Amino acid sequence: MITFFNKLGNSWIAKGIFFLLGVSMMAFWGLGGISNTSTSDNAALQVGSYKISLQELNHSFEQERNKISRISGGYITPKRALQMGLLNQVIQQLALRELNALIQEEMGLIASDDAVRRYIEKNPVFMDSLGKFDVNLFYTYLDQLNLSQPEFAKKMRTELAIQHLNRTLMLAVPRDPSLMQHAALVQKEKRQVEALFLTPKDMKVSTPSSQELKDYYDAYMEEFIIPEYRTLRLVSIKSSDFQNDYNLMLSSSQKMEDLLGAGKTLKEVVTEMKLNPGQIFVVDFNGLDKQGKAQAQLKSFLQEAFTLEEGEATSLMDVEDGFMVVGVEKITPPGHKDFASAKEDVVNLWRREQQKELMEKKIKDIVASLQQGKGWGNYVPKNDTISRTESKLLPMEFLPALMQQKMGYENAQVFPTKDGIWVAYVKRTIPFKDALTEKEKQEAVQGWAVDLTEAFQQAYLQKYPIKVHENIIQKAFSIYDKQED
């Protein structure tokens, strides 16, 4: 069984609790850094009676930021780390740590110094090639994580206490045969559901008038931008162009570089050297032509080519049988499409927006009809039989919610996806009637123990509320908002 700490971080209870934290912190995700602003109470976070200071929050944030920088092999700025969501993660970690401390204190789960020492000495991370504890490896590890010995010992003490709590909860799971039988039957139960999936494309919209389209274009002109296009010449120098004389090819490539360096355009160079004139492409920064087709052969040159001026050329690039180079022949700056040329795009965007609005309204109408006992209206749902781990129709991530859902129209649920929206309800349960094996009973008890752990966690989360002092954190972390990445 995984540790209580990790279990809490991944449980549905913690996700629900920390969703509130996420919502409350979203207002300043792009900020960073600790200011010198003083306050009479600089607590950034509070769990029950335990307080976490602003300085400790910043210290933990810097530890995690440095760790990410080491792992990624590059420097991660505080502003970038905050944009990645690191502040929210650190707040959650600190809240869980203090919750664990409260649980330990209340239950008397205190690991002794000797237990912590033995636990550290048995950690494979700190063992040498002979399997013995190496104090130098231990100190190196602490340095890498920027942790002091007391800080690390506190973490290990918490981990040991939580492991003991897990074992205690496991032993508390009833082993009565009839209860084990019931738990296994619940785990293997199946359900019949009715489900409907609607996408924006399913919605029929009327054709807008010319005036409606013009008004829409005027309101959303920024959506109809012409990107910068560049006319690029791609030229290759291959050994086959020189009767497979590799040395002659090399000398020709050197001459090309010299001519380009002297300020001649690539078109002038190929004319002077009597080379193949190459291919002409008109593409945007992503390598797409005006028809939206990708020109893959330009991919390696695009970043450099879009930093050059007209008449300049990229560096020569080695290829399997020679060299390639790209010259910039023309730059067409970005701009807005006029209404006439953008009309097709305007219609498509207007239609997608209208279809999305109609779909969302239709979903509300269907759910209201179901909740009033009137059924699906004019829609015909599909039937599916689901278990905790299997469905032929519905996405897997929706199964846990439906396996816990009450039966009946009135309990229909809505499940949004990137492509559309599902509406589903449980029509009936299908009990498991086959004989259960002992293994199935044992596995059911393991699942039961997890449920017991989550119930235990929920009790403590309700007993010790988590409070984030948003204003204090926002003011203190605001100094990086104007810093460059």
CATH number at residue 153: 1.10.4030.10
Q: In what order do the strands lie in the sheet with 229-238?
A: 279-283, 229-238, 322-332, 317-319
| C-alpha span between 297 and 77 (Å, rounded) | 35
Do 198 and 163 share a structural domain? no
- pLDDT value of position 267: 94
At 251, which helix (H) or strand (E)? helix 246-261
- pLDDT value of position 359: 92
Asked whether residue 274 is domain-assigned, the answer is yes
Rounded to an integer, the average pLDDT of 17-41 is 38
Model confidence at 325, pLDDT cuts 50, 70, 90, reads very high
**pLDDT (tens digit per residue) in 43-66:** 888 888 888 888 888 888 888 888
Do 106 and 58 share a structural domain? yes
| C-alpha span between 439 and 433 (Å, rounded) | 16
Do 154 and 47 share a structural domain? yes
Whether the predicted pLDDT of 10 surpasses 80: no
Do 385 and 330 share a structural domain? no
Whether the predicted pLDDT of 25 surpasses 60: no
Rounded to an integer, the average pLDDT of 316-342 is 88
- pLDDT value of position 235: 93
**pLDDT (tens digit per residue) in 77-133:** 888 777 777 888 888 888 877 877 777 777 777 778 888 888 888 888 888 888 889
Better-predicted residue by pLDDT, 283 or 249: 283
- pLDDT value of position 97: 77
CATH of the domain at 253: 3.10.50.40
Asked whether residue 211 is domain-assigned, the answer is no
Model confidence at 427, pLDDT cuts 50, 70, 90, reads very high
- pLDDT value of position 361: 93
Do 195 and 164 share a structural domain? no
Do 19 and 94 share a structural domain? yes
Judge whether 68 and 76 are in contact, CB under 8 Å: yes
Average pLDDT over the chain, rounded to whole?
80
Asked whether residue 352 is domain-assigned, the answer is no
Do 21 and 44 share a structural domain? yes
Q: Give the β-pairing of 335-336 and 225-226.
A: antiparallel
Q: Is 327 exposed, middle or buried (0-12, 13-18, 19+ CB in 10 A)?
A: buried
Tokens of 373: 């006992």
Asked whether residue 209 is domain-assigned, the answer is no
Whether the predicted pLDDT of 220 surpasses 70: yes
Asked whether residue 212 is domain-assigned, the answer is no
Whether the predicted pLDDT of 18 surpasses 80: no
DSSP letter, residue 148: -
Model confidence at 166, pLDDT cuts 50, 70, 90, reads low
Asked whether residue 445 is domain-assigned, the answer is no
Q: Of the candidates 336, 370, 398, which is a domain's last residue?
A: 336
Share of residues in the chain with pLDDT > 70 (%): 83
The amino acid occupying position 186 is V
Rounded to an integer, the average pLDDT of 324-330 is 95
- pLDDT value of position 142: 81
Do 253 and 321 share a structural domain? yes
Asked whether residue 346 is domain-assigned, the answer is no
Do 381 and 245 share a structural domain? no
Do 30 and 135 share a structural domain? yes
Q: Of the candidates 336, 367, 382, which is a domain's last residue?
A: 336
* Most confident of the following: 30-44, 319-333, 465-479: 319-333
Do 153 and 19 share a structural domain? yes
- pLDDT value of position 380: 92
Tokens of 232: 């690029």
Judge whether 285 and 306 are in contact, CB under 8 Å: yes
Do 455 and 414 share a structural domain? no
Whether the predicted pLDDT of 369 surpasses 90: yes
**pLDDT (tens digit per residue) in 233-251:** 999 988 888 888 888 888 8
Q: What is the pTM of this model?
A: 0.45
Asked whether residue 196 is domain-assigned, the answer is yes
Rounded to an integer, the average pLDDT of 439-451 is 70
Judge whether 165 and 172 are in contact, CB under 8 Å: no
User: In the chain, how many domains are there?
Assistant: 3
Containing structural domain, residue 113 = 4-175+451-482
Better-predicted residue by pLDDT, 393 or 83: 393
